Amino acid sequence: LMPRALQVAIEEDVDFRKGLPRDYMDVMGIANSDIDNPQRKVFLRKIQQLMTKLISYAPVDSACDQLSKHYIHDSLPPVLSEAEKSCSVHGDGERWEKSKNCVVGTAEMEPDTQIKIIRKGVLRLLTEDDDVRIYHSLDNSRLYHGSDPQYIEISAEAGPAVEYLLHSYPEYVAVDSLPLGTLDEKIAIASILYDHGLLLTSEPLDPIDDEESSGEPDNC
């Protein structure tokens, strides 16, 4: 927090870029600490003003996000119950069925699908390098820091939907209630989070019946 606050202050405030008084070595230091000197008092007062002012440049939320990012990188993936697996991509989900020579188990989000974050503390929404990222612990190695921090990138417009889900936890909310402009956008972000294992649904999603929709049971 403090190095970043000082960096921002130097960039934005000329007071933090001014040089020291030319005679500061004559009035400051241990040898001068007991001397009652007006110039020394001015110097100390200026330091106090700058230190107080520095607080206003402290990016507290950003610093807390970075600490949370480190915590997530330190954490093991969550252990899911069988019921939770069945309501997430961690269950059977979409997979290749060799006997049918096609993908089966494909499921789609609907506007009334009830969803929630899979676990509190397994993901963090951050803005870094002008990108919006969701850091998570789901793919962490059991070896400490055996892999780099894992994240997915989303559009800035989808950020409020992730915030909404974080604030709604542990309650389920409908996909249609996500604060985005169109239904397609709501389903898109919900599907992205679900496909990456970050969401639970209140009930297992019904797989799309490819055979029924295509009318060709032997060729998916």
Tokens standing for residue 123: 């993901």
On whether the CB atoms of residues 109 and 170 are closer than 8 A, the answer is no
pLDDT at 122 over 50: yes
What 3-state DSSP class applies to 101? coil
pLDDT, tens digit, for every residue of 54-63? 999 999 999 9
The amino acid occupying position 101 is: N
Query: Cβ distance 199 to 190 under 8 Å?
Result: yes
| Of residues 216 and 115, more confidently modeled | 115
Q: What is the mean pLDDT of residues 107-134?
A: 92
Which tens digits make up the pLDDT trace of 145-202? 888 999 999 999 999 999 999 999 999 999 999 999 999 999 999 999 998 999 999 9
Q: Which tokens is 10 given?
A: 């130097």
C-alpha–C-alpha distance, residues 6 and 193, integer Å:
37
Mean pLDDT of 131-142: 92
Please list, residue by residue across 131-160, b when 16 or more beta carbons sit within 10 angstroms of its beta carbon and e when fewer do: ebbbbbbbebeeeeeeeeebbeebeeebbe
| pLDDT for residue 214 is more than 50 | no
Phi and psi, residue 35, nearest 5°: -90, 130
Per DSSP, helices labelled H in 55-182 are 60-74, 82-86, 159-168
pLDDT band at 207, cuts 50/70/90? confident
pLDDT of res. 94: 62
Contact (CB, 8 A) for 84 and 200: yes
Domains of the chain by start residue, with CATH: 1-58 (1.10.10.1500), 77-201 (3.90.930.40)
Look at residues 92, 143, 148, 84 and name the one whose alpha carbon lies nearest to residue 119: 84
pTM of the predicted model over 0.85: no
pLDDT tens by residue, 16-38: 999 999 999 999 999 999 999 99
Residue type, 209: D
Whole-number pLDDT of residue 206: 81
Q: Is the pLDDT of residue 100 over 70?
A: no
| pLDDT mean across residues, the chain | 88
**pLDDT > 70: percent of the chain:** 88
Q: Over 60: is that where the pLDDT of 101 sits? A: yes
Q: What does the pLDDT read at residue 90?
A: 86
